[in-house]
Amino acid sequence: MPMNILLAGSFDDEAEHRQWAAALDAALRPALPGGHRLLSARGEVPDETIAAAIVANPPPGSLQGLPQLRLIQSLWAGVDRLLADATLPPGVPVARMVDPMMNEAMAETALWAVLALHRGFFTYARQQAAGRWQPLAQRRADELPVLVLGAGQMGGTVARRLAANGYPVTVWRRQAPAAGAGQAAVNAVHEVHGPDGLGTALAGAQVLLNLLPLTPETRGLINARLLAALPRGAGLVNLARGAHVLDADLLAALDAGQIGHAVLDVFSTEPLPADHRYWQHPQVSVLPHAAAMTDARTAAAIAAANIAALAAGRPIANLVQRATGY
Ligand code: NAP
Ligand code: GLV
């Protein structure tokens, strides 16, 4: 019997929706020998027949009243917005996007930001705008300790890339793996856990790079207290979620010179409002939530493989733990 699958998302426009539908349809065809129907809207078939949903942060309520729904597959890596929908069916497993190509894109953005902070390239851009010729002291990579918050798919890949480029890297994660449960998340970098581990690592970091998921525990973590624990003039790179940062605290730290420069890809309100101080602040570089975008060329097959696992009764990959929020 063909499987009915709903595609639901907040896509930029109709063209993006059509592009995703075509890529997913092509990936689902070989993955589901029993056939499938990919639905772009509710109402095309009876709600009772929809078995799976592929979603990209759909408007709240989109997945209500689907009694046969057995899997929600997110096209986004971060599921904070999806899980914030109080109407999300409670018993249905949620899987998130994990795509090695996306991890690599994140590592590229992180490496660019850390290199630019390390070699003063943001300062040189400001100097160019002012017509000023002023070479800066040249630091070595091994003189710039980087602390990465989060050591999962993104944080782990970023940490490895930075370490390979000569930076002393420390990662902070929730907990060490249980004995016998496998290796530490990242080989060749230092790993710390919990509030004590974080405090010590902050004091030694020249760059703080955030790749945590947004959960009740991590919301607002990057606040005045945390920023004050960094050495004066340290750099901040936030590539995770805007709500990790208390904006007023960061702006105060930038104005006071406690933070030398911030690279921000994500914001509490997106798009960043036109009158936000970040746009004009000389020590802030703004990216439009583009650090690592889901790429249909690889992600469609990854989503389809999970739907095929559902159809065949095999384990679903990359399940989200709803209790912890990631
Ligand atoms: P992930 O694989 O789930 O990794 C999350 C990491 O954060 C894990 O190492 C986890 O620790 C750690 N963590 C979670 N809660 C923590 C806490 N309270 N204290 C300390 N560490 C904690 O997630 P991911 O795939 O790397 O993605 C991370 C985030 O990146 C996403 O949630 C999303 O918000 C963001 N993102 C942004 C973009 C962009 O374009 N800007 C693109 C994709 C993703 P354990 O290892 O101990 O569990
Ligand atoms: C992007 O921010 C994602 O979570 O995929």
Q: Is the alpha carbon torsion for 250, 256, 258, 264 positive or negative? A: positive
In this structure, is residue 129 part of a structural domain? yes
The pLDDT tens digits for 256-281 are 999 999 999 999 999 999 999 999 99
The pLDDT tens digits for 215-242 are 999 999 999 999 999 999 999 999 999 9
- Nearest ligand, measured from the Cα of 194: 1
Is the preceding omega at residue 213 within 30 degrees of 0, hence cis? no
Distance 49 CA to ligand 2 centre (A): 29
Q: Is the alpha carbon torsion for 237, 242, 246, 248 positive or negative? A: positive
In whole angstroms, give the CA distance from residue 247 to residue 320.
28
Collapsing DSSP states into helix, strand and coil, what is residue 9?
strand
In this structure, is residue 211 part of a structural domain? yes
In this structure, is residue 323 part of a structural domain? no
Distance 189 CA to ligand 1 centre (A): 17
In this structure, is residue 86 part of a structural domain? yes
Ligand 1 pocket: which of 215, 294, 326 to mutate (most atoms within 8 A of CB): 326
Co-location of 280 and 302 in the same domain: no
In this structure, is residue 254 part of a structural domain? yes
71, burial (CB in 10 Å: exposed 0-12, middle 13-18, buried 19+)? buried
In this structure, is residue 319 part of a structural domain? no
Instruction: Tell me, yes or no, if 276 is annotated catalytic.
Output: no
In whole angstroms, give the CA distance from residue 96 to residue 185.
19
Using a pLDDT cut of 90, give the percent of the chain over it.
Answer: 95
The pLDDT tens digits for 42-94 are 999 999 999 999 999 999 999 999 999 999 999 999 999 999 999 999 999 99
Q: Which atom of ligand 2 is nearest to the CA of 74?
A: 5
Contact 294 CB / ligand 2 (< 6 Å) = yes
- Give the per-residue pLDDT at 12: 87
Q: Which of 70, 241, 244, 261 is catalytic?
A: 241
**CATH number of the structural domain spanning residue 71:** 3.40.50.720
In this structure, is residue 204 part of a structural domain? yes
Co-location of 166 and 282 in the same domain: yes
**If you compute the radius of gyration of the chain from its CA atoms, what whole number of angstroms results?**
21
- Give the per-residue pLDDT at 106: 98
Distance 55 CA to ligand 1 centre (A): 19
Is residue 185 predicted with pLDDT exceeding 60?
no
Instruction: Tell me, yes or no, if 289 is annotated catalytic.
Output: yes
Ligand 1 pocket: which of 98, 212, 219 to mutate (most atoms within 8 A of CB): 212
Co-location of 93 and 170 in the same domain: no
Q: In what order do the strands lie in the sheet with 3-9?
A: 36-39, 3-9, 50-56, 71-74, 94-95
Co-location of 106 and 68 in the same domain: no
In this structure, is residue 191 part of a structural domain? yes
Ligand 1 pocket: which of 101, 154, 221, 264 to mutate (most atoms within 8 A of CB): 154
Co-location of 300 and 174 in the same domain: no
Co-location of 125 and 233 in the same domain: yes
Q: How confident is the model at residue 180 (pLDDT cuts 50, 70, 90)?
A: low
Domain that holds residue 165: 102-286
Q: Which atom of ligand 2 is nearest to the CA of 78?
A: 4
Distance 139 CA to ligand 2 centre (A): 33
Co-location of 167 and 257 in the same domain: yes
Q: Tokens in use for 129? A: 């705008």
Co-location of 210 and 173 in the same domain: yes
Co-location of 133 and 213 in the same domain: yes
Neighbours of 208 (CB within 10 A): 24
Q: How confident is the model at residue 189 (pLDDT cuts 50, 70, 90)?
A: very high
Co-location of 136 and 214 in the same domain: yes
Co-location of 278 and 140 in the same domain: yes
The pLDDT tens digits for 191-214 are 999 999 999 999 999 999 999 999
Q: What is the mean pLDDT of the chain?
A: 96
Please state the domain count of the chain: 2
Co-location of 38 and 108 in the same domain: no
323, burial (CB in 10 Å: exposed 0-12, middle 13-18, buried 19+)? exposed
